[in-house]
Amino acid sequence: MSEFDYIVVGAGSAGCAVARRLSDHTSNRVLLLEAGEEPAGFWLHTPAGMAKMFSENKFNWSFSTEPIPHANDRKMIWPRGKTLGGSSAINGMVFTRGIRHDYDEWMRQGNPGWGWNDVLPVFLRLEHNSQSGIMVGKGGPQKVSDPAVKAALLGDFIQAAALSCGVPITENLSADGLEAAGMLQASIWNGKRQSAYEAYIRPILTRRNLTIATRAHVTRILTNGSRATGVEISTDSVLRQFSAIREVILCAGAIGSPHLLLLSGIGDLDELRAHRISPTLHLPGVGKNLQDHYSSQIKVRTSPRGSYNRYLSGWRKYVEGARYLLNRSGYLACGATLAGALVKSELDLEHADLDIGFRPISMTYSPSGQVVVDRLDAISLSVFVCRPRSRGTVQLASADPLRPPKIRPNYFSDPADMVSHVRGMRICREILSTEPLASSIHEELLPGLHHRTDEQLADYIRSTGKTSFHASGTCKMGHDPMAVVNARLQLHGMDNLRVVDASIMPTVTSANTNAPTIMIGEKGAAMILQDNDQG
């Protein structure tokens, strides 16, 4: 069959939600296209296996940025999922919504229906949470749970962060959307990763109205004048075309969606002409407004009881492996970041602008993306600026659809981001020196106390920081000249074409982006059905 009602490009966090909700209507014929293969293998489904997924493998696009001027001209590996489930199949599984201000700011920028009070019911509808309460969901596809093992220093970190930063303690840092310190939940259930594919698509694989094609690399969007009519895909170097009667929905992510639009002649005319691509629509904001959370870590040596490291290295890792195989429990059933604090870098700020994560393990990151657990008793704190001012771009490297685009994050191009980041490092040190956590800390390993001045800390940040894998904003929602989609996620100037993924965020959310991206998928699908008189 070459004709469908809806074609969904990209089976990631948003795409799985969109395909599921559209196919809930049995009259709809839905095609879900994914460039990667089906998820398979022990480590892909094991929470602790995330460390193996960040380096180059067949389930990872393993993008590389251009040299980053304000990060010592380093090139940085940008992992993105390339399988059913997308980045939710390889990420750190932290499941959090961000803060209320994130969404109210989207609405303030001219996007009705995207305020906190609008999106909260969608968050509640999408999840099935191990906790109970009015601010968590029950019965949704996406399963979310507390850490399988409560680290010995988990509560100590939360108390120390609350005391040193003057924020309240919460049982669930995600639920209220307010600045606080508390435990973080994860997209893990009964010891197994719950990617968006596992949550939304695997339970409905027998549906006759849903067709899933893997290893299907979409090369361009087909158009007729100002109307999207379908897509062209490459499978094993063979080109095929599929028609969409109602809509084409791009869910290829903050890198893939703008790249595909540009390849299809939709973007800035000068960029298209430079690559000899026939312009279809001048939309200068495509690929602009790129945002990400640049993360730095503080690593400290602790007493043996404080760290998971010894259980994930040496002979003990085999014991943990057997424990996991027997009953899906133990340290392999956990993610890395178990608690966090949303705090202000300055007291007079209206909203929290720093995200600090607590990890009862410490890891060493190689430039290639490989992650290795340290063989000493240590923990780490990570910090990033929630709403960075710096903006980057995703641009064409070539008209060849199989060649990756040029990614320029432009971290710290706005100096204010470095000022806030340095303050965040100092706040991490204050937390570590506050009881009840301080008595378990033996020494600071990174950056080390010889990094004292702001400039020394800034140099450490520039030299060692990394992506938090939160790419967003490259097809921003709004009505200004650089907006790509409207509040209904419809492409400006093109009928029957929407973008529904993290690229539509006008500003990145103040924490991990997986839960917000699934929310965008749910909300986008509801809009599609309403606008096609099916809602």
∠ at Cα 170 (168, 176), nearest 5°?
A: 100
Domains of the chain by residue range = 2-40+197-290+472-533, 45-81+131-194+292-395+402-467
CATH for 2-40+197-290+472-533, options being 3.50.50.60, 1.20.120.430, 3.20.20.70, 3.30.10.20: 3.50.50.60
Rounded to a whole number of angstroms, the distance between the first and last alpha carbons of the chain is: 26
Evaluate if residue 398 carries a pLDDT over 80.
yes
Same fold: 2-40+197-290+472-533 with 45-81+131-194+292-395+402-467: no
- Per-residue pLDDT reduced to its tens digit, 189-247: 999 999 999 999 999 999 999 999 999 999 999 999 999 999 999 998 899 999 999 99
Phi, psi of 234 (to 5 degrees): -115, 120
Instruction: Give the pTM.
Output: 0.97
* Longest CA span, the chain: 68
Using an 8 Å Cβ cutoff, are 221 and 266 in contact? yes
Report percent pLDDT > 70 for the chain: 100
Q: Considering just the CA atoms, what is the radius of gyration of the chain in Å? A: 22
pLDDT of residue 298: 98
- Band (127; pLDDT cuts 50, 70, 90): very high
Evaluate if residue 56 carries a pLDDT over 80.
no
In the chain, helix, strand, coil percent, each to 5? 30, 25, 45
CA atoms within 13 A on the CB side of 71: 22
Paired strand residues for 195: none
Evaluate if residue 507 carries a pLDDT over 90.
yes
Evaluate if residue 1 carries a pLDDT over 70.
no
Residue 528's Cα: distance from chain center in Å?
23
- Spatial separation of the C-alpha atoms in residues 272 and 69, rounded to whole Å: 25
- Spatial separation of the C-alpha atoms in residues 421 and 18, rounded to whole Å: 36
Query: 327 vs 314, 332, 342, 343, 439, CA distance in Å?
Result: 21, 11, 34, 37, 34
User: Positive or negative CA dihedral for 101, 99, 447, 438?
Assistant: positive
Q: What is the mean pLDDT of residues 367-373?
A: 79
pLDDT of residue 101: 97
- Per-residue pLDDT reduced to its tens digit, 74-112: 999 999 999 999 999 999 999 999 999 999 999 999 999
Q: Is 91 annotated as a binding residue?
A: yes
Q: What single-letter DSSP state applies at residue 200?
A: I
Place of tokens 């430039």: 367
Place of tokens 């089976």: 11
Query: 440 vs 151, 154, 430, CA distance in Å?
Result: 13, 12, 14
Of the candidates 387, 440, 445, 410, the one whose C-alpha atom is nearest the C-alpha of residue 287 is 410
- Band (55; pLDDT cuts 50, 70, 90): confident
Evaluate if residue 72 carries a pLDDT over 90.
yes
- Spatial separation of the C-alpha atoms in residues 169 and 335, rounded to whole Å: 21
pLDDT of residue 372: 86
Residue 12's Cα: distance from chain center in Å?
10
Paired strand residues for 230: 222, 243
Q: What single-letter DSSP state applies at residue 399?
A: S
Of the candidates 54, 59, 53, 51, the one whose C-alpha atom is nearest the C-alpha of residue 34 is 59
Using an 8 Å Cβ cutoff, are 97 and 136 in contact? no
Q: Which of 442, 450, 470, 479 is catalytic?
A: 470
Using an 8 Å Cβ cutoff, are 159 and 436 in contact? yes
Evaluate if residue 371 carries a pLDDT over 90.
no
For this structure, is 282 an active site residue? Answer: no
- Spatial separation of the C-alpha atoms in residues 186 and 191, rounded to whole Å: 11
pLDDT of residue 535: 81
Q: To the nearest 10°, report the CA torsion of 80, 81, 85, 90.
A: -100
- Per-residue pLDDT reduced to its tens digit, 447-461: 999 999 999 999 999
**Cis amide prior to 401 (ω within 30 degrees):** no
Q: Is 139 helix (H, G, I), strand (E, B) or coil?
A: coil
Q: What single-letter DSSP state applies at residue 190?
A: T
Evaluate if residue 489 carries a pLDDT over 70.
yes
pLDDT of residue 176: 86
Q: Is 93 annotated as a binding residue?
A: yes
User: E strands within 131-236?
Assistant: 142-144, 169-170, 181-183, 188-189, 192-193, 210-213, 217-224, 227-235
Evaluate if residue 369 carries a pLDDT over 80.
no
Q: What is the mean pLDDT of residues 501-508?
A: 98
∠ at Cα 481 (477, 485), nearest 5°?
A: 25
Using an 8 Å Cβ cutoff, are 251 and 10 in contact? yes
∠ at Cα 285 (402, 101), nearest 5°?
A: 110
* H/E element, 125: helix 116-126
Q: What is the CATH number of domain 45-81+131-194+292-395+402-467?
A: 3.30.560.10
Phi, psi of 50 (to 5 degrees): -55, -35
CA atoms within 13 A on the CB side of 34: 27
Using an 8 Å Cβ cutoff, are 11 and 85 in contact? yes
Q: Is 92 annotated as a binding residue?
A: yes
Evaluate if residue 67 carries a pLDDT over 80.
yes
Q: Is 218 annotated as a binding residue?
A: yes
